[in-house]
Amino acid sequence: MAKSLRSVLSSAVTAPRSSIIDWVGRSISGGASGIWAQTVGSTSANGKTVTINKAMRLAACWSCVRLISETIATLPLGLYRRMPDGGREVAGDNDLHWILNTNPNSRMTAVQFWEAVVASMLLRGNAFVEIIRISGRIVALEFLLPNRVELDVADNGELLYRYREKNGQLRDIAGSDMMHIPAFSLDGQVGLSPIAYGADVFGAAMSAEDVASATFKNGMHQTVAFEVDQLLNKQQRDDFRDYVQRISGAMNAGKSPVLEKGVSAKVIGINPVDAQLLESREYSAEEICRFYMVDPTLVGYSDKASNWGTGLEQKLLRFLTFTLRSYMRRIEEAISRKLLTPAQRRQIYPEFSIEGLMRADSAARATLYSQMVQNGIYTRDECRMKENLPRMGGNASVLTVQTNLSPIDQLGRGDDGQAARAALQNWLDQPANSKD
């Protein structure tokens, strides 16, 4: 019999279930307004309540989430069939290939769908996709709003899923019809929310933004306190505040204020320069980037290191290897496990094409194609197809290699050795006393 997370939390019957509850934090319900509005379970050390909406208002968080989700969503995601000779071909005859790569459902394009999936993993630690079948055949994938999904735990530790519709009704979803993609996890079932676990990081950044906003709103001026040499009653204090406002107006108009007898002005608070306000904001941004494993320069935060040439190339390589790859692999494995049958998994597999990252670098693509053709890995027609050009046929579909360094015992055999044979013959025909 299934028990809700709250009931399991109160009873704490077994270690596996209690550990899952500890990492989930709470059921993900749909009571809050907005898709991402719910507080994900933590208050920062400085007292800030961290919600996804508030975190996404931070430039660093917005940029990191957008960079990762948009990059993965725009990469080609194909379904491939293993060939007997060890090669592969696109499984274009499989309907799932077009569902994954074109339109997962009637409301979303593939880019919009995978962007929402990855963003959900980045913000909540989990993405939920309902598998829609007709007569046992997959016809659509529906992205479920994460704030409406509730997790239950069965006695055997299996996760059960419930979805709260707009009318408030809970609908059970069988595990076979749910593609649950957890991000970084400690139990292998439920992902950890970066916003919840990074509450102190995001809370500090929010505090720095609040201080900066208040400082700029005050015209970069520090708070000024006025000291008088007598005790004032309430009416006198109100009159004095009006007097202070007139002084402030004179200062803003460029006029020098005149203080009455017994009134002196004192500056209180910390100077923004002394408080290192800009440095604090920049450090908070770096902390958020570190939390998402994104180099700050990739989201607009500059440093003294060079971003030209090999420096940028290495940063992009690190971004692909240590950041994007983990999310792409989780999605690929979830597709194989939930959308393919055991028999299909032996022959068919999904894969993101990271070559899509080179679409904007024509020089890198040209170098890659040249090397692949010269070494007999790609045909010229295969390169043309990758550039969305029609096949030429004939020799363009034949694998070719360069033969400048042919073995000496192959010289003179066929046209490939003509140049080498001519060079050898020219050397043999030279006079013996030639200085060359």
Q: By 3-state DSSP, what share of the chain in percent is helix, strand and coil, each rounded to 5?
A: 45, 20, 35
| Domain ranges, residue 229 | 225-268
**81 in Cβ contact with 88 (< 8 Å):** yes
Burial class of residue 297 (count of CB atoms within 10 Å of its CB; 0-12, 13-18, 19+): middle
Say which residue, 354 or 174, is predicted with more confidence: 174
User: 10 pLDDT exceeds 50?
Assistant: no
Nearest residue to 298 (alpha-carbon basis) of 121, 63, 75: 63
**Is 346 found in the same domain as 298?**
yes
Looking at the domain assignment, is residue 323 inside a domain? yes
**Is 122 found in the same domain as 89?**
yes
pLDDT at 422: 64
Looking at the domain assignment, is residue 429 inside a domain? no
Looking at the domain assignment, is residue 330 inside a domain? yes
Domain-ending residue, one of 333, 360, 387: 360
Over pLDDT 90: what percentage of the chain?
Answer: 27
pLDDT at 388: 66
Average pLDDT over residues 270-274: 48
pLDDT-derived band at 201 (thresholds 50, 70, 90) equals confident
Looking at the domain assignment, is residue 332 inside a domain? yes
**Is 295 found in the same domain as 230?**
no
Vertex 227: Cα angle to 222 and 230 (nearest 5)? 165
Q: Specify the range with the lowest mean pLDDT, choosing from 2-11, 146-155, 246-255, 292-301.
A: 2-11
Looking at the domain assignment, is residue 405 inside a domain? no
pLDDT at 188: 85
Average pLDDT over residues 341-365: 81
**357 in Cβ contact with 364 (< 8 Å):** no
Give the HSE-up count for residue 330: Cα atoms under 13 Å, Cβ half-sphere. 26
pLDDT-derived band at 225 (thresholds 50, 70, 90) equals low
pLDDT at 367: 80
What is the three-class DSSP state of 10? helix
Domain-ending residue, one of 360, 376, 407: 360
**Is 207 found in the same domain as 233?**
no
pLDDT at 75: 92
**Is 157 found in the same domain as 17?**
yes
Say which residue, 129 or 225, is predicted with more confidence: 129
Say which residue, 160 or 383, is predicted with more confidence: 160
pLDDT at 336: 95
**354 in Cβ contact with 320 (< 8 Å):** yes
pLDDT at 361: 63
pLDDT-derived band at 408 (thresholds 50, 70, 90) equals low
pLDDT at 414: 55
- pLDDT tens sequence across 13-57: 333 444 434 434 333 333 333 444 444 546 666 667 888 888 888
Domain-ending residue, one of 345, 360, 375: 360
**Is 115 found in the same domain as 211?**
yes
Average pLDDT over residues 301-316: 64
**Is 244 found in the same domain as 138?**
no
The whole-chain average pLDDT of the chain stands at: 76
Number of domains in the chain: 2
* Cα separation, 339 vs 141, whole angstroms: 10
**180 in Cβ contact with 127 (< 8 Å):** yes
Backbone angles phi, psi at 58, to 5 degrees: -80, 130
**Is 144 found in the same domain as 250?**
no
CA distance readout (Å), 44 to 22, 196, 205, 411, 422 = 18, 9, 11, 75, 78
pLDDT-derived band at 68 (thresholds 50, 70, 90) equals very high
User: 325 pLDDT exceeds 70?
Assistant: yes
Looking at the domain assignment, is residue 234 inside a domain? yes
Looking at the domain assignment, is residue 434 inside a domain? no
* Cα separation, 212 vs 58, whole angstroms: 13
pLDDT-derived band at 72 (thresholds 50, 70, 90) equals very high
* Cα separation, 162 vs 139, whole angstroms: 21
**Is 339 found in the same domain as 257?**
no
- pLDDT tens sequence across 89-129: 889 889 999 999 989 999 999 999 999 999 999 999 999 99
**Is 320 found in the same domain as 292?**
yes
Average pLDDT over residues 396-420: 64
Looking at the domain assignment, is residue 407 inside a domain? no
pLDDT at 311: 65
**Is 71 found in the same domain as 122?**
yes
**Is 336 found in the same domain as 313?**
yes
pLDDT at 196: 85
Element (H, E) at 81: strand 77-82
